[in-house]
Amino acid sequence: MTEGSSGHICGQHEIEVAPGKSLPEFCEIQHAILESAGRSIIVTDTVGSVIYFNPAAQRMLGYTWSDVVGREAVSIFHLNDEVEQRARILSAELKRKITPGFEVFIARLSRGHTDEHDWTYIRKDGSHFPVTLSVSPLHDSGGELIGYLGIAGDISRHRNLEQDLRIAAMAFDSQAAILVTDANQQIVRVNQAFTTLTGYSAKEAVGQRASLLKSGRQEAGFYAQMWNSLNKTGHWQGEIWNRRKSGGIYPEWLTISEVRDEEGLLTHYVSTFSDITELKLAESEVHNLAFYDPLTALPNRRLLLNRLDQARAAGKRSQQFGALLIIDLDHFKNLNDTLGHDIGDRLLVEVAKRLKICIREGDTAARQGGDEFIVMLENLGLEPEAAGIQAETVAEKIRLSLSQAYVVATNAKHFHSASIGISLFCGHDKTTDVLLKQADIALYKGKDAGRNTIRFFDNAMQTALDARAGLESRLHQALTHKEFRLFVQAQVNTDRELIGAETLIRWQPPGEAMVPPDDFTPLAEETGLIVPIGLWVIDQACSHLRRWADNPEMRKLYLAVNVSARQFRQADFVEQVAAALERHRVNPKLLKLELTESLLLDNVDSVVNKMQALRALGVRFSLDDFGTGYASLSYLKRFPFEQLKVDRSFIRDIATDPDDAAIVRAIIAMGNTLRLSVVAEGVEADEQHVFLVEHGCTSFQGYLFGRPMPFDEFEETLGDCSSEPVEPLDNWVI
């Protein structure tokens, strides 16, 4: 008995109570304790039947006093399985059989087990919940067992917490690195993945500040923003560069969350992060594939268009002009065909390098595909004229640079010219499509002008373009509407005697002026219409030769027919010519085909084969516009020409320009060396004729001897000539 307390007897028990307190009072207190206790208190008699059931037990289990009184506690509140299982365990411990049920508790108690154990209780509604239960025997003052006291507490909340902790622990050991700091950013915990990723062991990291991982790559502003968001929303995620223990810097995807206690006070920060180096590599690979040309590593068309959009948006604000340059290598296909694609590729790579050198930083050089490149120049000033001059200066620099020798195969130098089309822009003055198209049109103007040139797109060009579209549709009808006329122009020998003629096409749209061939054949060539037109010309020429053959005065005259490159490239060209000759029963020797040099640059073998096949029939070939192209002497020797036709641009100033005179002399000498006859076209003056005769030219064509005219007119004048008594046709050299 403690000092200051006094002993009282309550029932048979002697009970200590505080001094000044009476026992009956205390019995009441005791009762009140049982009734108001937070835990479930159940008292049974010695065989386990309920004799007391406190309000907490009623609340916890959902039974009322009358539901349970006198019933066996074990069978109402406990799970059968659990009781049986514990009976088995106890049987094994005590080495004797324990009957499940009330016996289980007795057995435990008999061994002095009064400490708490986890059990499952069943509520009246059948639901289960975990409790911690202690059962103690109750004895009377004589030591006689009078019953059992069971005190149980609901541990569901505790169990849930435990489960959460288990899950958290598992998550903590996940693949992602986890770092937990206190509110002052001092590291309190890290996981294994953290160590693997950063190289810092838990021991090294704990106690350090989180800034241990800072890479220094990001500016103070970045971190300020991060903390700002974290403070505002309690959360931040994003990409960040951190540093490993080894010093290596890597990108990571980081999520930081605040942890607050029940009062809302910040206690911790939890950061999870993973290394995204691989992801970034894959991302940049995709980016490269999508936006760069794999061969030259230049931006591709898509990226160029992106940048063009940006440039135009910027130009709209600044009002500065920009320029788009489309660059196309002249005759690139030829190099590809003759030397192979490897060499072609190497050349393109070299072109890309040169382009990059020619432009300023901030300008873009892109490969549009094939041998076509696009350069975008920005910030060319506020004045269109000045911008044009600047763009032209860059274009000229590019043109010169690209025309330098390329060493793409050992010991061999290649030269390649380029044509450049330029279109200026200012903000959104035109759509991207229109802008590209205009540069393209300018490029083709350049190509038409003989390649190796620079051309601008301007409004006059647009007008020409519109006219061209109209021309194209009318040209389509011209053939079916029989609007073409074939003219003929005389060719004579040194004595001005007629030896043959060249056919020259004209277009006569009804009610309009006659259209010269230079105004429609290039378009016909582009659209492919030149093929049926050319066939018509050959057929017409053969039909005239047929008529001439029946005329003794004309049967030795040959006809020279102009053949376009596209027409000659037709797979069945040889057969078509042979068929026309046969159809009109014409001597093939009287048909001469005029080819131009540009035709010889493509696919040499095929050209030679076709020429030889026609030569075998007797058809002859003349090389038209000679001197204006690039063909070398050795190159020409590969083709079975019979004649060179000196371009009329050399003949025009032959008497006054010593350079032209020298060129013509050289061409004639060259013709002689190659055993080719030489015909001069565009002879307008006597002195030109004299000069040409003096230097060994044998055939002549030009206004001096007759203009191009319709066949009937031509035949009439011939009739006039033949009426003269001079011995006419028999002496004509063919």
- Site residues (vs ligand C2E, CB under 6 A): 489, 503-505, 516-518, 521, 534, 537, 562, 564, 594, 624-625, 648, 681-684, 701-703, 708
Shortest Å distance, C-beta 647 to ligand C2E: 7
> Interface residues for Ca ion in 545-564 (CB under 5 A)?
562
Judged by CB under 5 A, does residue 483 bind Ca ion? no
Interaction partner, residue 529 (ligand C2E, Ca ion, none; CB < 5-8 Å by kind): none
The 3-class secondary structure across 283-342, one letter per residue, is HHHHHHHHHECCCCCCECHHHHHHHHHHHHHHHHHHCCEEEEEEEEECCHHHHHHHHCHH
698: partner contacted, choices Ca ion, ligand C2E, none (Cβ within 5-8 A by kind): none
Query: Measured from the CB of residue 516, what is the shortest distance to ligand C2E in angstroms?
Result: 4
Quote helix, strand, coil % in the chain, to nearest 5. 45, 25, 30
Nearer to ligand C2E, 322 or 629 (CB): 629
642 binds, among ligand C2E, Ca ion, none (CB under 5 to 8 A by kind): none
Minimum gap (Å) between residue 330 Cβ and ligand C2E: 20
The single-letter DSSP state of residue 513 is: P
CA distance 578 to 617: 8
Q: How far is residue 414's CA from residue 335's CA, in Å, rounded to a whole number?
A: 9
597 belongs to the binding site for Ca ion (CB under 5 A): no
Give the x/- contact pattern for Ca ion in 411-440, rule: CB under 5 A: ------------------------------
CB of 681 to Ca ion, least distance (A): 5
Q: Which is nearer to ligand C2E, 671 or 682 (CB)?
A: 682
Q: Pick from Ca ion, ligand C2E, none: which does 534 bind, CB < 5 to 8 A by kind? A: ligand C2E
Q: For the residues of 253-272, what is the DSSP string, one character each? A: EEEEEEEE-TT--EEEEEEE
Question: Taking every pair of C-alpha atoms in the chain, what is the biggest distance, in angstroms?
Answer: 176
Gap between the Cα atoms of 665 and 657, Å rounded? 12
Nearer to Ca ion, 493 or 562 (CB): 562
The amino acid occupying position 639 is: F
Three-state secondary structure string covering 167-182: HHHHHHCCCCEEEEEE
Q: Which does 724 bind (CB under 5 to 8 A by kind): ligand C2E, Ca ion, none?
A: none
Neighbours of 461 (CB within 10 A): 16
Q: Provide, rounded to whole angstroms, the least separation between the CB of residue 645 and ligand C2E.
A: 8
CB of 612 to ligand C2E, least distance (A): 22
Is 342 or 653 the residue whose CB approaches Ca ion more closely? 653
Among the listed residues 344, 520, 624, 650, the single contact to Ca ion using CB under 5 A: 624
For position 625 contacting Ca ion by CB under 5 A, the verdict is yes
**Nearest residue (CB) to ligand C2E, 77 versus 650:** 650
- Residue 452 burial by Cβ neighbours in a 10 Å radius (0-12, 13-18, 19+): middle
Sign of CA dihedral 92, 93, 96, 100: negative
In whole angstroms, the minimum distance from the beta carbon of 661 to ligand C2E comes to 18
Residue 454 vs 535, nearer CB to ligand C2E: 535
DSSP string of 332-383, one letter each residue:
HHHHHHHH-HHHHHHHHHHHHHHHHHHS-BTBEEEEEETTEEEEEE----S-
How many Cβ atoms sit within 10 Å of the Cβ of residue 706? 19
H/E stretch holding 189 reads strand 187-190
**What does the alpha-carbon distance between residue 272 and residue 352 come to, in Å, rounded to a whole number?**
45
CB of 684: closest distance to ligand C2E in angstroms?
A: 4
Q: How far is CA 243 from the centre of its chain?
A: 33
Which residue, 66 or 656, has its beta carbon nearer to ligand C2E?
656
Which pair of structure tokens corresponds to residue 347?
């050349």
Report CA-CA distances (Å) from 355 to 303, 537, 586.
17, 45, 55
Q: Which is nearer to ligand C2E, 153 or 517 (CB)?
A: 517
* Residue 591 beta carbon to ligand C2E: minimum distance, rounded to whole angstroms: 13
Contact 324, 423 (CB under 8 A): yes
Q: Which does 516 bind (CB under 5 to 8 A by kind): ligand C2E, Ca ion, none?
A: ligand C2E
Nearer to Ca ion, 438 or 503 (CB): 503
Of the two residues 273 and 484, which places its CB atom closer to Ca ion in the complex? 484
Question: Residue 470 in 3-state DSSP?
Answer: helix
- Which of Ca ion, ligand C2E, none sits in contact with 418, Cβ below 5 to 8 A by type? none
Q: Which does 504 bind (CB under 5 to 8 A by kind): Ca ion, ligand C2E, none?
A: ligand C2E
Q: Name the binder of 505 from ligand C2E, Ca ion, none, CB < 5-8 A by kind.
A: ligand C2E
Closer residue to ligand C2E in complex, CB, 683/729: 683
- Which lies closer to ligand C2E via its Cβ, residue 131 or residue 486? 486
Burial of 311 (0-12, 13-18, 19+ CB in 10 A): buried
Angle at 485 between CA 483 and CA 490, to 5 degrees: 170
Binding track over 576-595 against Ca ion, x by CB under 5 A: ------------------x-
Kindly state the smallest distance separating residue 298's Cβ from Ca ion, in Å.
41
Q: What's the start-to-end Cα distance of the chain, in Å? A: 155
Per-residue HEC secondary structure of 704-716 comes to CCCCCEEHHHHHH
Nearer to ligand C2E, 198 or 503 (CB): 503
Residue 482 CB, nearest approach to ligand C2E (Å): 15
Dist. CA 44–CA 49, nearest whole Å: 5
Shortest Å, Cβ 485 to ligand C2E: 10
- Give which of Ca ion, ligand C2E, none residue 706 binds (C-beta under 5 to 8 Å, depending on kind): none
Determine the size of the site formed for Ca ion (CB under 5 A).
4
Contact between 98 and 84 under an 8 Å Cβ cutoff? The reply is no
678 binding partner (options ligand C2E, Ca ion, none; Cβ < 5 to 8 Å by kind): none
Binding site for Ca ion (CB under 5 A): 562, 594, 624-625
